[in-house]
Structure 1
Amino acid sequence: MSGMAKSKIWIAAASLPLLASCGGGAGEAGPLDEVAVTARSAPVAQEFQQKLKAQLVAALTNSGPESAVSVCSQVAPAIAATASEESGAEVSRIARRNRNPDAGVPAAMQSQYDALAAQPLSDGKPAVQIWRSGEGENARIHYLSAIPMQDQPCSVCHGTAVDPALKQHIDSLYPGDLATGFKPGDLRGAMLISWKADAFQ
């Protein structure tokens, strides 16, 4: 074998560890594919909201706002549980000014929620935050989609002029309710779709 051929083999072999380090070692997180996360998460969030809205509008139309609040308290958790089971993600709603105290904003997600509060809409659509948290088996990828306040039907139960009798009913179901006084366009809350990171490997 010529000296030049030996030299080429040595250079190629020496380059292997360097190339491997550029690609990331085993178990290391690669770049976050936000397009893939959105494609998988957005339909889950949209289906949740469509199902809930349909039931709330039906309750409002047929029985009035007090019935709608009662329906929401029972139906929303059931829809979230079904969506979680079917998708493989953890599906929930969170809000700083929440109706259900169990739906508060986790401390680790405050900065992402604050970003949505500062700008709930992006190009006329609900703004989104996507990020990765944790390491190893605890690594997760989160999709947080704004729920901007809409005039109807949301203002009936969440607006600035909630009927006193309705507010009393809300308080009977949710003592310490914080979810009124919103104006159209305000951030009322956010849909949280949280995946194990390996769902996107």
Structure 2
Amino acid sequence: MIKHGWAALALAALVGCAGEPQPPAPTLDEAAVIAASVPIAQSFQAELKAQLQAAIAAGGAKGGVSVCQQAAPAIAAAQSEASGAEVSRIAAKHRNPAGGVPDDLAQAYAALAAAPVVEGKPNRQIVQTGEGADARVHFLSAIPMQEQPCSVCHGTNIDPDLKAHIDQLYPADLATGFQPGELRGALLVSWDAARFLK
């Protein structure tokens, strides 16, 4: 009887240590990330393209480079404020060193480079980084190199006078030598991950 009593107590202790079943860890709602991010990516690209084309029509390729330098950060800042996300552009072969690819997004960027377009649309990747209150979710949308107007400033046959102008604005420029269809860069939309956990 005593032995059985101790066995029962030991079993009860083990059950008590196990505690109540833990709720499942929250999962990322990728569909919600896409739904929130795609309109931002599309709006950014459309607005920048419109301003760039207008600048090239008014002042040639040099004007386009100058406007692109100013317009892209301004558009990103406005969309960041409006959406609550952090909007920017990144590239392995960047024009501005501040727009390089962060280490924790390198694998996702490589996947975009391997296939910039999927089923006729820019490829996308979703990456979650950090933990707890610092957790972030990043939406990357490929920016494939387009023949026009992109090749004028990013292609393989850039006018020497234009190249000198680019080098003046971007002394560390790496963003030339692209063929149409190659990955020029990615639009990055980063959010507080808690917004999309369920």
* Structure 2 unaligned spans of 5+: 1-15
Q: How does 1:1-201 map to 2 (within 5 A)?
A: 17-18=20-21, 21=22, 23-24=23-24, 28=25, 30-201=26-197
Contact 2:105–2:127, Cα closer than 8 Å, also in 1 = no
Aligned-residue sequence identity (percent) comes to 60
Q: Distance in 2 between matches of 1:90 and 1:116?
A: 20
Shift of 1:17: 2.7
TM-superposition CA deviations, 1:92-135 (whole Å, max 9, x none): 00000000110000111111111111111111111111121111
Counting matched residue pairs gives 180
Contact 2:140–2:186, Cα closer than 8 Å, also in 1 = yes
Shift of 1:35: 1.1
Q: Distance in 2 between matches of 1:124 and 1:75?
A: 27
> 2:41 is matched by which residue type in structure 1?
A
SS in structure 1 at match of 2:20: helix
Q: Distance in 2 between matches of 1:55 and 1:190?
A: 19
TM-superposition CA deviations, 1:17-66 (whole Å, max 9, x none): 33xx2x32xxx4x2222111100000011111111110000001111000
Q: Distance in 2 between matches of 1:67 and 1:131?
A: 36
Q: Distance in 2 between matches of 1:68 and 1:55?
A: 8
What TM-score, normalized by structure 2, do the two folds share?
0.88
* Structure 1 unaligned spans of 5+: 1-13
